[in-house]
């Protein structure tokens, strides 16, 4: 079998290397994260989940912003905010809503959200204080616009404190501040921090203080509009009526429920850009909600008495806890409705809302209940939208679920571009590998063509060598046999009168004729002769006895184990070289004594043949040819005492032994 050309081996080595690079690329994330297929699956899962989560939609118009601490010159100043809770209340979740800033370069970003902070809870007498959460720079909470949801494993507390130990710089002046828009503390679905007392380490003064004081941290107003991804959108209910008329409607809940919370979703008039009306459009200056068990409200109990002193008392969702009251009938009335600024005094007043939620144990028991309007001169639009469970964007969610969906969207939207970047990086690397493989394929194609050509050349060379070997064998073997037949014929002519001798000569001629036929067949099937010269030493002994029957011959061997390790073809060629030497001695030297010495060693095979004949002037062509086929070094000398000495040295390292 021919050896592969070195350049083809190099190409195959490169292919194996590239294959290894490709596998390394494919399995790079197996140790810690995802394979490429898992990245695609994860990206599809994120897109599917994002489609079902509430969307981030910031408020517009005027409203409370949240609490802002005093500006500091060092980021390591400690600032804190503490919120009192109803005594010994079990809490299971805390939500921190960041204060938002519309950055001219980066868009909407959290402003003053601390880089490092901890959340502490305790009892009223402060005998038990526990750090329930700690966040470091390595948590990468920023940048963010969404709420931060902190799970709490059912702890009992009378207050919570958020203490910042490393501040972030504010967006406007570059000083270090601590800001939050809203803090919610949930016990089940109820925000028990709503409208609770707040204590802070410091406050900012000056312009706009009403919008950034500490009490805005628990007023229930967030910088977001509730924009759920599910449900059917609904237009808000609007009512226009004369100034001297009190607007009202009632709800029959059909069953008696313990009412503990009321949520009023303001009419969202911001779908036009710019807005068609003021941000407090339709929000009354005075609103009253009462509950009763009798249809005539003779047993009415006040539930909510809402008064708006300024524009900062209104927001997208007005949430108020009320003392738990069992009632079936609800009545909403507006003693002091909204007055449109651009309407002349004494003209029509108006009231608007997107939804009225009456909460009992976390459930809106008013959803689907048709409102009842008394006879009054009023233009009432979208009456049924008051309790249809939808706002301008779709389904109205529980506040806790809304915050959780916004937080979840933030996490997924941060993960999604990382996955896309990783996939793009891998696709780019795959493109590089594909280009490499294309080049490699071309190189392999060229290598295959060249290999085929080289193989063809080698085959032609082998055919030539076989022809040369067959010609040499025919010349040497048949020539020797024919020469012997000629000699025997001469002897037969001289021994005509001696019958027994003549018969012996004729038998030898017959044997030589058969051997010549075998030699001819052997030359024709040289490559298939597997058992020829299986034992080189014995073959050499038999040939020397046959050819040198009339001369004195001495043959010796050394290192037989190395002689036996020669490849079959080399044994055959060495044997034929030896026969050709003997044939030439018999033909031309007229020697009476011949010695043969074959020496095997780890490095070489050394053959020495000497005779006492006439000597030679030049190396016979047949011996040169045989030495060439063996790739051996040939030498012939004529010693001073007469005769000739033929030497052949054949290296054995190339045959795989003697190393």
Read off the CATH number of the domain in which 255 is found.
2.60.120.260
Residue 542 confidence class, pLDDT cut points 50, 70, 90: confident
Looking at the fold, whether 245 and 182 belong to one and the same domain comes out as: no
Return the axis-axis angle of helices 399-473 and 36-50, rounded to nearest 10°. Answer: 160
Residues 390 and 416 in one domain: no
485 lies in some domain:
no
For 107-160, the DSSP string reads EEEESS--SEEEEEEE-TTSS-EEEEEEE-GGG---S--SPEEEEEEEEEEEEE
- Residue 569 confidence (pLDDT): 81
The whole-number average pLDDT for the span 88-115 is 93
Measure Cα distances from 497 to 158, 486, 503 in Å. 146, 19, 11
Least-confidence region, from 33-37, 134-138, 392-396, 639-643: 33-37
How large a percentage of the chain has pLDDT more than 70? Answer: 83
Read off the pLDDT band of 1 (50, 70, 90): very low
pLDDT(489) > 80: no
CA separation for the pair 314, 352 (Å, rounded): 13
Identify the CA nearest to 341 among candidates 282, 381, 286: 282
- Domain membership of residue 484 (yes or no) is no
Confidence of residue 323 (pLDDT cuts 50, 70, 90): very high
Q: How many domains does the chain have?
A: 4
457 Cβ contact partners less than 8 Å away, ≥ 6 residues apart:
none
Question: Do residues 173 and 103 both lie within one domain?
Answer: yes
Report the residue count for the chain. Answer: 659
Q: Does 84 or 25 have the greater pLDDT score?
A: 84
Query: Checking DSSP bridges between strand 237-241 and strand 79-97, what pairing results, if any?
Result: unpaired
- Report the largest interatomic distance among the alpha carbons of the chain, rounded to a whole angstrom: 171
Are 648 and 585 members of one domain? yes
- Phi, psi torsion values for 97, nearest 5 degrees: -100, 120
- Can you give the pLDDT at residue 34? 79
pLDDT at 155: 92
Q: Which residues are bridge partners to 269 per DSSP? A: none
Q: Which pLDDT value is given to residue 28? A: 40
Average pLDDT across the chain, whole number: 85
* Residues 187, 76 within the same domain: yes
3-class DSSP assignment, residue 600: strand
Q: Is the pLDDT of residue 14 over 60?
A: no
Q: How confident is residue 549, by pLDDT bands cut at 50, 70 and 90?
A: confident
Does 534 score more than 90 pLDDT? no
Query: Which of these three, 367, 396, 425, is where a domain ends?
Result: 396
In contact, 606 and 646? CB cutoff 8 Å: no
Which of the pair, 326 or 272, is modelled with greater confidence? Answer: 326
Residue 439 lies in a domain: yes
Can you tell me the mean pLDDT for 82-111? 93
Confidence of residue 277 (pLDDT cuts 50, 70, 90): confident
Confidence of residue 438 (pLDDT cuts 50, 70, 90): very high
In this structure, what is the dihedral angle of CA atoms 360, 366, 372, 378, given to the nearest 10 degrees?
A: 100
Q: Let me know whether 338 and 457 are in one domain.
A: no
Q: What is the mean pLDDT of residues 584-592?
A: 84
Q: Is 174 left (phi over 0), alpha (psi -120 to 50) or beta?
A: left
Question: H/E element holding 17?
Answer: helix 6-26
- 311 or 525, which is more confident? 311
What is the Cα–Cα distance from 557 to 356, expressed in whole angstroms?
Answer: 118
Token couple for 30: 């197996």
Give yes or no: residues 203 and 254 share one domain: no
pLDDT of 433 > 70? The answer is: yes
* Domain C-terminal end among 368, 396, 424: 396
- What is the Cα gyration radius of the chain? 54
Which is more confident, 463 or 17?
Answer: 463
Q: What is the pLDDT of residue 149?
A: 97
pLDDT of the residue at 517: 63
Domain final residue, candidates 218, 251, 272: 218
Quote the CA–CA distance of 226 and 316 in Å, as a whole number.
Answer: 8
Cα separation, 420 vs 114, in Å, equals 29
Residue 375 has what pLDDT? 82
| Site of tokens 């020697």 | 591
How far, in whole angstroms, is CA 639 from its chain's centroid? 81
Q: Which of 400, 371, 585, 555 is nearest to 480 (CA)?
A: 585
pLDDT band of 475, cuts 50, 70, 90: low
Can you tell me the mean pLDDT for 388-394? 94
Please classify residue 359 by burial: count the beta carbons closer than 10 Å to its beta carbon, then call 0-12 exposed, 13-18 middle and 19+ buried: buried
Domain holding 606: CATH number?
A: 3.30.565.10
Query: How do the residues of the chain divide into helix, strand and coil, expressed in percent and rounded to 5?
Result: 35, 30, 35
Angle between helices 621-630 and 568-584 (to 10 degrees): 170
Query: What is the rounded average pLDDT of the residues 148-163?
Result: 95
Among residues 472, 429, 437, the alpha carbon closest in space to that of 626 is found at 472
Containing domain of residue 200, as a range?
67-218
pLDDT tier at 547, thresholds 50, 70, 90? confident
Q: Is the pLDDT of residue 238 over 50?
A: yes
To which residue do tokens 């868009």 refer? 107
Answer yes or no: is pLDDT of 8 > 60. Answer: no
Dihedral of alpha carbons 628, 630, 635, 636, sign: negative
What's the pLDDT at 514? 66
Co-location of 259 and 202 in the same domain: no
Residue 311 lies in a domain: yes
Instruction: Determine, yes or no, domain membership for 53.
Output: no
Output b/e per residue, 460-469; b: 16+ Cβ within 10 A: eeeeeeeeeb
Residue 386 is encoded by which pair of tokens? 């008051």
19-46: pLDDT as tens digits: 443 333 333 433 346 788 999 999 999 9
Mean pLDDT of 89-112: 93
| Residue 254, Cβ density class (10 Å: 0-12 exposed, 13-18 middle, ≥19 buried) | exposed
Asked if residue 470 is part of any domain, the answer here is no
* Same domain assignment for residues 638 and 585: yes
Question: Are both 413 and 388 inside the same structural domain?
Answer: no
For residues 324-345, give the mean pLDDT. 88
* pLDDT at residue number 466: 65
**Number of H-type helices and E-type strands within the chain:** 10, 26
Residue found under tokens 């028990």? 192
pLDDT score recorded for residue 527: 45
Residue 225 pLDDT exceeds 80: yes
Contact present, 81 and 215 (Cβ < 8 Å): no
Q: What pLDDT does residue 32 have? A: 42
446 part of a folded domain: yes
| Residue that wins the pLDDT comparison between 615 and 64 | 64
The HSE-up count of residue 102 (CA atoms within 13 Å, CB side) is: 5
Would 362 be classed as within a structural domain?
yes
Quick one: tokens of 493? Answer: 């002519």
**Least confident range of 186-190, 392-396, 482-486, 613-617:** 482-486
Contact status, residue 566 vs residue 605, Cβ threshold 8 Å = yes
One domain, residues 242 and 391: yes
| Residue 239, phi then psi, degrees to nearest 5 | -130, 130
Residues 183, 254 within the same domain: no
């Amino acid at each position: 079998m021919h050896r592969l050309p070195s350049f083809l081996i190099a190409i195959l080595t490169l292919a194996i290397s590239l294959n290894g690079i490709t596998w390394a690329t494919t399995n790079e994330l197996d140790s810690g994260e995802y394979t490429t297929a898992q990245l695609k699956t994860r990206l599809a899962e994120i897109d599917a989940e994002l489609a079902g989560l509430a969307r981030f939609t910031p408020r517009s118009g005027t409203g409370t912003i949240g609490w802002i601490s005093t500006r500091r010159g060092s980021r390591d100043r400690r600032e804190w905010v503490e919120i009192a809770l109803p005594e010994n209340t079990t809490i299971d979740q805390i939500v921190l809503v960041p204060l938002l800033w519309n950055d001219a370069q980066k868009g909407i970003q959290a402003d003053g959200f601390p880089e490092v902070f901890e959340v502490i809870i305790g009892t009223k007498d402060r005998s038990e204080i526990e750090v329930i959460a700690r966040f470091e720079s390595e948590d990468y909470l920023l940048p963010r616009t969404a709420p931060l949801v902190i799970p709490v494993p059912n702890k009992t507390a009378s207050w919570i404190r958020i203490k910042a130990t490393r501040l972030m710089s504010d967006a406007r002046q570059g000083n270090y501040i601590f800001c939050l828009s809203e803090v919610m503390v949930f016990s089940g679905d109820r925000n028990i921090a709503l409208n609770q007392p707040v204590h802070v380490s410091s406050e900012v003064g000056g312009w706009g203080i009403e919008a950034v004081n500490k009490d805005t941290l628990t007023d229930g107003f967030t910088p977001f509009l509730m924009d759920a991804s599910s449900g059917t959108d609904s237009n808000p209910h609007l009512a226009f009526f004369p100034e001297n008329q009190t607007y009202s409607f009632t709800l029959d809940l059909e069953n008696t429920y313990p009412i503990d919370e009321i949520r009023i979703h303001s009419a969202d008039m911001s779908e036009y850009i710019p807005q068609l009306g003021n941000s407090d459009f339709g929000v009354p200056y005075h609103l009253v909600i009462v509950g009763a068990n009798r249809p005539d409200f003779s047993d009415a109990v006040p539930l909510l008495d809402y008064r708006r002193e300024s524009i900062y008392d209104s927001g997208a969702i007005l949430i108020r806890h009320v003392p738990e009251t069992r009632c079936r009938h609800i009545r909403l009335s507006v003693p002091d409705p909204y007055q449109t600024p651009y309407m002349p005094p004494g003209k029509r007043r108006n009231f608007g809302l997107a939804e009225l939620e009456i909460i009992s144990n976390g459930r809106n028991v008013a959803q689907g209940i048709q409102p009842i309007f008394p006879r009054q001169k009023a233009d009432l639009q979208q009456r049924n939208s008051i309790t249809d469970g939808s706002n301008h964007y779709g389904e109205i969610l529980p506040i806790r679920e809304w915050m959780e969906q916004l937080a979840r969207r933030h996490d997924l939207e941060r993960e999604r571009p990382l996955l896309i970047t990783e996939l793009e990086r891998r696709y780019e690397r795959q493109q590089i590998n594909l280009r490499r493989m294309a080049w490699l394929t071309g190189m392999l194609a060229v290598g295959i063509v060249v290999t085929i050509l080289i193989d063809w050349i080698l085959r032609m060379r082998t055919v030539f060598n076989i022809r040369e070997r067959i010609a040499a064998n025919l010349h040497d073997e048949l020539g020797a046999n024919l020469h012997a037949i000629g000699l025997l014929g001469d002897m037969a002519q001289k021994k005509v009168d001696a019958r027994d001798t003549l018969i012996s000569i004729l038998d030898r001629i017959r044997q030589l004729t058969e051997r010549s036929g075998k030699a001819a067949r052997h030359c024709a099937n040289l490559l298939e002769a597997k058992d020829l010269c299986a034992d080189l030493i014995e073959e050499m002994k038999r040939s020397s006895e046959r050819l040198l029957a009339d001369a004195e011959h001495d043959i010796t061997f050394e290192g037989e184990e190395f002689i036996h390790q020669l490849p079959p073809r080399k044994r055959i060629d060495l044997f034929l070289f030896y026969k050709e030497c003997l044939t030439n001695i018999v033909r031309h030297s007229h020697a009476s004594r011949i010695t043969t010495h074959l020496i095997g060693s780890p490095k070489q095979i050394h053959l020495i043949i000497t005779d006492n004949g006439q000597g030679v002037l030049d190396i016979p062509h047949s011996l040169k040819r045989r030495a060439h086929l063996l790739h051996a070094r040939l030498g012939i000398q004529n010693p001073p005492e007469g005769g000739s000495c033929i030497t052949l040295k054949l290296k054995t390292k190339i045959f795989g032994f003697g190393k």
